[in-house]
Amino acid sequence: MTLRIIMPVLNVAFVGSESLAKKIAKKGDVRDIESYVYKEERNGEIGIISLLRPLKHPEKIRPLLSVLNVAKVGIIEISKVDSALGEICVSFGCAKIEKGLVIINSQTGNWVDPDQVRIILEQSGLKNWELLESLPDEHSIREKLFSLMDNLEREDSSLILPVDQFFNVKGVGLVAIGYVQSGSVSKHDTIQVLPADENGIVRSLQVMDDDVETAVSGDRVGLAIRNLREEALHRGCMVVHTDSNVLNRNLSSTFSIIKAPFQKRILQIGDVIHAAVDMQFIVGRIKNIEGPNLTVDWEVPLWTRKEYSPPIIITQLDAGPMRIIGTTVL
């Protein structure tokens, strides 16, 4: 197999039609999230655009939030203005995805008012997104995405890799798959799996079917791991470097919420909420409320970063049509 050098990957949260996604990139994996990949050599490197298209929204909100945990920029294709669009825009704003494209693609008999869309974007925290009032060709969209990639800041922080799949491969051994949320991981690194608190050694890595020496933030990577029990892995477990001490384990948390735009729901003691961060979607129940502060007991541990924590998006699944309650940081 070809050894891949480190290449920049732009993960794009794509909320739009399958037909537009297929024009921009080649369809790949399908789970509760569809992936589409486009590769192009630019300035001596292979630049990669990875569109992540959540399925089943608005029926389910978790795939959308998972995509927002990974993405750096977004694309929203608008064919009509409704409550689902409001929730989508608020979700992007709460995730602090500050750059993206909004494409108006009106269908026959269903005109979309650009001025109304601008108001929604501004109220949702997306005022810096570019609004395209008609559907451009795929080449223009790719160029705009590559331009956004060039202007992104690359963070230098510790490894955090939530696992969403794992299995045994004949001749390879135990493989864990997930998105590198921060930092990097390399061949021969010693890694720690939480909450099992067990160590293993990275035998090899693959990104997009290429063998690599190192996977960096944004990569979807498969880690072949030796000296680790399969029982240590489960969906939602965290891979970090051994003894890095970069995560907090939260079974109960007290915090205040920055309420989302358009949200009028008032939370009560006993309410069930979900916390979405770093590919986790954790159930909690409100135990106490004192002024602006909520105390929540989590059903399973919620892992949060000690430094450079992204916003934790708090949702309430029965609060439709706006299930995004707001954000917090622990």
Confidence of residue 3 (pLDDT cuts 50, 70, 90): very low
Structural domain includes residue 102: yes
C-beta separation of 322 from 83 below 8 A: yes
Q: Is the pLDDT of residue 2 over 60?
A: no
Alpha carbons 23 and 327: distance in angstroms, whole number: 34
pLDDT at 151: 72
Confidence of residue 154 (pLDDT cuts 50, 70, 90): low
Alpha carbons 157 and 219: distance in angstroms, whole number: 15
Q: Is the pLDDT of residue 155 over 70?
A: no
Model confidence over 271-285: pLDDT tens digits?
999 999 999 999 999
C-beta separation of 240 from 191 below 8 A: yes
Alpha carbons 15 and 140: distance in angstroms, whole number: 18
Is the entire prediction scored with pTM above 0.75? Answer: yes
Alpha carbons 27 and 265: distance in angstroms, whole number: 38
Structural domain includes residue 157: no
Parent domain of 234: 165-241
pLDDT at 190: 98
Model confidence over 227-248: pLDDT tens digits?
999 999 998 899 999 999 999 9
Of 193, 217, 241, which one is at a domain's C-terminal end?
241
Alpha carbons 256 and 49: distance in angstroms, whole number: 36
Same domain, 142 and 52: yes
Structural domain includes residue 159: no
Which amino acid does the sequence have at 82? D
Alpha carbons 10 and 13: distance in angstroms, whole number: 10
Same domain, 281 and 295: yes
Same domain, 143 and 169: no
* Residues ≥6 apart with Cβ < 8 Å to 150: none
C-beta separation of 220 from 178 below 8 A: yes
Interior/surface letters 262-286, b for 16+ CB within 10 angstroms, e for the rest: bbebebeeebebbbbbbbbbbebeb
Alpha carbons 52 and 70: distance in angstroms, whole number: 9
Confidence of residue 204 (pLDDT cuts 50, 70, 90): very high
Q: Is the pLDDT of residue 156 over 70?
A: no
Ramachandran bin of 197, using left for φ above 0, alpha for ψ from -120 to 50, beta for the remaining angles: left
Q: Is the pLDDT of residue 319 over 50?
A: yes
Q: Is the pLDDT of residue 157 over 90?
A: no
Model confidence over 83-113: pLDDT tens digits?
999 999 999 999 999 999 999 998 877 889 9
Same domain, 46 and 133: yes
Of 223, 241, 259, which one is at a domain's C-terminal end?
241
Q: Is the pLDDT of residue 24 over 80?
A: yes
* Nearest to 123, CA basis, from 93, 97, 151: 93
φ, ψ at 126 (rounded to 5°):
-115, 35
Structural domain includes residue 55: yes
Model confidence over 249-268: pLDDT tens digits?
999 999 999 999 999 999 99
**Start-to-end CA span in the chain (Å):** 43
Alpha carbons 77 and 79: distance in angstroms, whole number: 7
Interior/surface letters 2-38, b for 16+ CB within 10 angstroms, e for the rest: eebeebbbbbbbbbbeeebbeebbeeeeeeebbbbbb
Domain count, the chain: 3
Which amino acid does the sequence have at 92? F
Q: For residues 207-219, give the mean pLDDT.
A: 91
Same domain, 105 and 220: no
Same domain, 199 and 94: no
Alpha carbons 218 and 220: distance in angstroms, whole number: 7
Instruction: Using a pLDDT cut of 90, give the percent of the chain over it.
Output: 83
Query: What's the order of all strands across the beta sheet hosting 33-42?
Result: 26-30, 33-42, 45-54, 9-15, 73-78, 100-104, 130-132
Max intra-chain CA distance, the chain: 61
Q: Is the pLDDT of residue 170 over 90?
A: no
Of 150, 178, 193, which one is at a domain's C-terminal end?
150
